[in-house]
């Protein structure tokens, strides 16, 4: 797994990520929120690329 990139802004709600893990009966590592946020950044970057490749200016759910 890739390390969290400290230069990117966190784009997920940390307490909500932790709630999901806690509801599964598990504990979360201190770097989990940053790792989830990095994955979201990656997904969004790919969605933006797909949107642009299709000549659109609106990112849609199916771009994910």
Domain count, the chain: 1
Confidence of residue 8 (pLDDT cuts 50, 70, 90): confident
The span from the CA of 64 to the CA of 50, in Å, is 8
Is pTM beyond 0.85? Reply is no
- pLDDT tens for each residue of 20-42: 999 999 999 999 999 999 999 99
**Roughly how many angstroms between the first and final C-alpha of the chain, as a whole number?**
21
Q: Is residue 2 part of a domain?
A: no
Q: Is residue 42 part of a domain?
A: yes
Enclosing domain of residue 38: 30-64
Contact call for residues 64 and 50 (beta carbons, < 8 A): no
The span from the CA of 48 to the CA of 64, in Å, is 9
Q: Is residue 11 part of a domain?
A: no
């Amino acid at each position: 797994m890739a390390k969290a990139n400290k230069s990117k802004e966190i784009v997920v709600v940390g307490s909500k990520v932790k709630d999901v893990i806690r509801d599964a009966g598990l504990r979360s590592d201190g770097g989990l929120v940053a790792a989830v946020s990095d994955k979201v950044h990656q997904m969004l970057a790919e969605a933006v690329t797909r949107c642009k490749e299709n000549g659109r200016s609106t990112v849609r759910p199916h771009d994910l």
